[in-house]
Amino acid sequence: MWFDDRSVTLPSSASGGAAGVSVASTSAGADAGPAHDADAAAAGSSGKKAEKKAAAKAAKEAKKAANAAKQAAQASSVDENDPLKHRYGDAEMIQSKNISGKTWTTVRDLDLTKKDQEVLVRARVQTVRGKGKSAFLVLRSESFTVQAIMFVDDVTVSKGMVKYASNIPKESMVDVAGFVRQPGEKVKSCTQQDVEIQVTGISTVSKTSTALPFELADAARSTKEVEEAKARGENLPTVLQDHRLNNRVLDLRTPANNAIFQIQSGVCMLFREILLSKGFREIHTPKLIAGASEGGSSVFKLQYMGNYPSLARPACLAQSPQVYKQMCICSDFDKVFEIGPVFRAEDSNTHRHLCEFTGLDIEMSIKEHYFEVLDVIGDMFNYIFEGLNKRFKKELDAVREQYPFEDIEFLPKALKLTFAEGIKMLHEAGYTHVDPYGDLNTETERVLGKLVKQKYKTDFFILHKYPLSVRPFYTMPCPEDDKLSNSFDVFIRGEEIISGAQRIHDPELLIQRGKELDVDPETVNLYAGEGGMLRFGAPPHGGCGVGLERVVMLFMGLNNIRKTSLFPRDPNRLTP
C-alpha cells in the first residue's frame, strides 16, 4: 500500500485548521427529547415503547441503508487511472502474514511535540465531510479525537483520493498517514485541539458494513447541550439507556464511556497498589459454593454437575467471598484482598443495584481495635482519589464533557463519626423520626451526606458503631454497649459504598449470636462447628467489601450504576 516504500515531504500546512463537523442525526434509536437516565429501573415502560419504535424505524431504514451502502461502495472504489491510487483504497485483510516494522502513533499522543513529523495513525472515522477538492475527517481512538484534512494538489492528494475518503462509512477503521501540523486556530471539536493531520495516504482496514443503530454524536451528547438547544427552540436527538445497552459495543465507543472504563481500570490498579504496599496479598476465592455464603436467601441457585445425575447437588453463586477471606485469616495470611465477581439475586430495580458486580474485598487481622481496619480504608480511598485525579485527568475531562460533575472533596485523614453522632445531626436538622437503634434508609443517608459536607467539607466519611440489631450475626458486639456493634459503613456523596465490621472470632460467642438471630445452624457450623475455622485459634480480624461499579459511579457523580458496569446484569437484563 501507499506507506510501504514511499515517504513524502510536504510544506507546512496553511489550512487554517477548520474544525471537523459532527451533524446531529435523527437515526434509529435516537430520542428527540432529553436523555433518559432516570434512577428507576432500566427497563421502564417508556423505555420499552421507545425500543419498539426504534426497532420499527431501524427495520424501515434497513433497505434504504443497504442501497446507500451499495452506492457508497461504488463511490469509494479506487480510480484505476489515478496516478496516486497507491495512496488510498481498502487494505488487504490483516491475517498475520507479515510484520512490516511500521510504527503507529496513538491519537492520544498527537501534540505539538510532533509538529511537522510524519505519522501513521489507526483510528475510527467519527465524522467525514467532503466538498469538491477537500475533505475533513475526525478520527477517534479510545476517547481521543483529531482532525485530518485533505486538499487536492495532484501531487500527494488526488480528486479520487478525496472522493474515496469522503465515502468511508462512519465508524470504519482506517490507517491514515500524514504530517502533524499546527492549525491557524484550535480545533475545538476535537480533544487534540492544537494539531491536525495533513493526510498523504488513507487505507480502510475494517469497514462498517451495516446501518448504525444510532449516531455516536447523539450518544455522546451532553444534557447541557440538549437543554441549551431546547432553549433556542431546537430539539437535539439523544439515545435512550435501553437502546444503548442493547447496542453496547457501539455505545462503549463514545469518549465518555471509553474513559469511564479506563477510570474503572485505574481504580483496580490503585486498589492493588496501596494494599500491596501495606503488606496485603491478593487471593482468588471460589464463586461456586454449597449453600449461601452469608446465610441469606438472595442467591442464584444452580445444580452443581447437573449433567451427571450421580454427581448432581444443589449449589449457588457466591454472594460474597466473606467465608473464604476469614478462612485465609485463620490460615495466618494476615492481610488479604480480592477483586472478583459478586452475585446477588435481588429484585432491586434502582439506580445503584446490580445482580452481578465486581467486589473489592479486604480482610485483615487486628492487634487491638477495629479502627486499624478503618485506618487502612481511609488511606486506601485517599490514595485512589488522589491517583485518579493525577493519573487520569484526561479521562476525567472526557467524562465531564458529557456528564458534568464536581470534584470529590475529601480530608487528609478520613472523617470518622459514630452512628449516634450521625443520628444527632439528623435529629438537629429536623429528621427526628430516625431511630437511633434502627438503620438508615437511602433518603436519610443522602441527607446525612449533605449535612456532613456542610459541616466537615468532605464527601467521604466513615460511620461506625452501628446498632447490633441491623448487622449480620458474625459482627462483634460493642463492649461498652451491647445494643451497638464494632461495625461501620463508608459513604461517598451521601451514598453507602461499604459495609464492614470486626468479625466474631470466638466460636462460643458466634454460636450464641447465631441462636439469637435464628441463623441456619449449618452456616454457623462452617465457622464454629466441630472442625470450623474458629476452632483452631482464630486471630481477631475485620474487613469489608465494596462494589467497584458503585465507587466509579459516585467518584464522578454519575446518576446510574449501569453507566459504570461494562455489560450490566439487573433483574430485567441478561444480555448482551
* Helix, strand, coil fractions of the chain, as percent rounded to 5: 35, 20, 45
Cell 485512589 belongs to 384
Catalytic entry in 140, 344, 503, 562: 344
Alpha-carbon span 505 to 525, nearest angstrom: 13
Residue 103 burial by Cβ neighbours in a 10 Å radius (0-12, 13-18, 19+): exposed
Separation CA 210–CA 224 (nearest Å)? 31
How many Å from the N-terminal Cα to the C-terminal Cα in the chain? 37
Out of 189, 222, 298, 499, the active site residue is 499
Q: What angle do CA 310, 311, 313 make, to 5 degrees?
A: 115
For this structure, is 496 an active site residue?
Answer: yes
Annotated catalytic residue 352: yes
Residue given cell 458503631 in the structure block: 465
> Is there a catalytic annotation at residue 118?
no
Catalytic annotation, pick one of 181, 243, 505, 550: 550
The single residue of 122, 353, 391, 569 carrying the catalytic annotation is: 353
- Catalytic: 294? no
Is residue 448 within 8 A of residue 461, CB to CB? The reply is no
Catalytic residue among 346, 372, 401, 495: 346
Q: Is 569 a catalytic residue?
A: no
Rg (CA), the chain: 29
Name the pairing type of β-strands 238-239 and 30-31.
antiparallel
Query: Smallest Cα–Cα separation from 486: which of 494, 475, 497, 498?
Result: 475
Q: Do 459 and 382 form a contact (C-beta atoms < 8 A)?
A: no
Cβ atoms of residues 553 and 528 within 8 Å: no
Q: What are phi and psi of 227, to 5 degrees?
A: -65, -40
480 a catalytic residue: no
CB 305: neighbour CB atoms within 10 A? 11
Q: Which of 142, 196, 496, 549 is catalytic?
A: 496
> Is 499 an active-site residue?
yes
- Of the candidates 181, 352, 464, 573, the residue annotated as catalytic is 352
510 with 528: CB under 8 angstroms?
Answer: yes
Q: Catalytic residue positions?
A: 344, 346, 352-353, 496, 499, 550
